[in-house]
Structure 1
Amino acid sequence: MQRLMKCARALSLGLLLLGLAAVPAVADSSPSASPSDDTDAPTSAGTSFRTAAEVDQGQRATASASTGDYLYWSFPADARQRPTVRATVKLPDKHASATWQIDVYDGLRRRQACQYGAQTRTAAQDAASVELSCTLRTVRAWSEPWADDPLPGTYYIRLTTVGLQAADLGLPVSAEVQIGSKDIGGSAAVDGSLGEPLVPGIAVKTEESDKAAEDSESSVAVLSSIEPDDGWASGWWSDRWVWTGIGGVLAALAGIGGYALTRGAGRPR
């Protein structure tokens, strides 16, 4: 009876540790992009990859343009994040039906497929606006060179219309873009990491430029200056560590309980 009570206490302790450890695991799986101050959000968009307007996750960027223009924005995405891009285009009062499309490219300018979302939509003649969305695959910390997996770095958004009629070319429109992401957690963790994030211009440094940077505060020009609030690869901690620790604790408790149940009542005389 006493052994059973000891095993019950050990099991209760294990369940208590399991509940306490599950709290940070649940928090780790919550959305990671907190709302940012929209006052610092850009009010115009770029016309190419090099002139893309930089947007932080959580901000709502706006832009005024003409129908037929290519609008570009850029944002940072780190490992284990699943970014979602949403765009809203407000159309003029009189317009013909047109198809709008949103594309997302990574730091190597590889077009990334949308896991789900309305990437392309056709606006009817009486439509006042059209909404688009694209949820990317989870960003991996490391991948094979031949793979097309999303990697940490800068991502580009391109918004434009396809199949436009000549009569609607040049009509004024306004666009809103917002980026959010969800932290997937340890289920997306891999054993590896990139030497540097895929940020344009960050890998152009040479030994001479590094020495010059040590002598002066000026550094090599980087085409994209945005990065996550906590820096790149900041989310090294994940629920993968938590569940590994829980497994070790439960294994130790199982060993203690098995020993308490199977050991003899005492040494024979």
Structure 2
Amino acid sequence: MGLAVAVADRGLEDQLMWISSVLRTRRAAAGAVTAGLFLLLGGTASPSVADSSPSAGPSDDGDAPTEAGTSFRTATEIEQGRKATAGASTGDYLYWSFPADSGQRPTVRAKVKLPDAARSSSTWQIDVYDGLRRRQACQYGAQTRTAGTDAGSVDLSCTLRTVRAWSEPWANDPLPGTYYVRLTVTDLETADLGLPVDTEVRVDSKDAGGSAAVDGSLAEPLVPGVAMATDEEDEDDSDSSTAVLSSLEPDDGWASGWWSDRWVWTAVGGVLAALAGVGGYALTRGPGRPSRVPPPSS
């Protein structure tokens, strides 16, 4: 009888040890899954923060342009994040140009300070064109506004669609390269033509991240004259020149290519899937045999 009790106690001890090991395994799996979820939630917060902040740009406007061009070929180059000013007359067409790279969502803002001598209302409009001089639609913003006779200024804005690294030839998607801004008055009484106005233009961009990435890239950005560029450095030709009509580009260069943060999220998703599989197996597997099975009692 004493031997049977001892064997039973030993079997109970083994069962308790097995239950304890199972609980430890499940706690470890639950901790791994929880850590993975925190990693995912912490990582997903960063793109929204980056998307809500304008792109970094020069804060000092001391060297900003103080004039505007009168056509596409004479458009004044401006950098993103810097305000450009220009004095003009009502009825003039004012042109600026700026670079935009893939993944950016540019927003163009313009302000026109109206003359005090205006005797009628005026309607102002801002248009944005890409490097192929295709007019780009505004995703949102007040692209056209009418100012009354008592208005001191009028504010315009145009937010473009996200610039894509590649697109079909027949599509009108924004592509990396130079973009043109045209500001003019579209409705004005003849008596008010030629009155002096002051204008301000600023371009900022938000980073759309990997959600806007596509598989493909352009051979060259849509910069006017880039197809005419000649590279004859190896020939030591002193008369060689680069016929590029736009000299500005993003601070980090043109980044169109295969890399995007989608690769990071793909890797994170694979790790989380593996952790979820391990945790699910540990939580749902049936009871196994103890490491030591007591002999049957006689």
TM, length-normalised to structure 1: 0.90
Consecutive unaligned residues in structure 2, runs of 5 or more: 1-22, 294-298
Q: 1:201-226 CA deviation, whole Å, 9 max, x = no partner?
A: 11113xxx322576268641210001
Distance 1:213 1:53 in 2: 33
User: Paired residues, what number?
Assistant: 266
Consecutive unaligned residues in structure 1, runs of 5 or more: none
Contact 1:86 1:133 in 2 (8 A): yes
Counterpart secondary structure, 1:87: strand
- Alignment correspondent of 2:25: 3
Q: 1:133 aligns with which of 147, 150, 157?
A: 157
In the alignment, is residue 201 of structure 1 matched against residue 225 of structure 2?
Answer: yes
In the alignment, is residue 52 of structure 1 matched against residue 84 of structure 2?
Answer: no
Counterpart secondary structure, 1:190: coil
- Alignment correspondent of 1:248: 270
Change in Cα spacing, 1:222 to 1:213, as seen in structure 2 (3 Å) is farther
Q: Percent identity?
A: 68
Contact 1:25 1:238 in 2 (8 A): no
TM, length-normalised to structure 2: 0.82
Letter aligned with residue 85 of structure 1? V
1:142 shift after superposition:
0.5
Letter aligned with residue 95 of structure 2? Y
Q: Which moved more, 1:14-23 or 1:114-123?
A: 14-23
Alignment map for 1:24-35 (pairs within 5 Å)? 24-35=46-57
- Alignment correspondent of 2:206: 182
Distance 1:210 1:35 in 2: 31
1:78 shift after superposition:
0.7
- Alignment correspondent of 2:231: 210
1:234 shift after superposition:
6.7
Distance 1:58 1:216 in 2: 38
- Alignment correspondent of 1:85: 108
Distance 2:257 2:114 in 1: 40
1:178 shift after superposition:
0.5
Counterpart secondary structure, 1:118: coil
Contact 1:91 1:128 in 2 (8 A): yes
1:20 shift after superposition:
5.0
1:11 shift after superposition:
1.5
Considering only aligned residues, what root-mean-square deviation do their CA atoms show, in Å?
Answer: 2.3
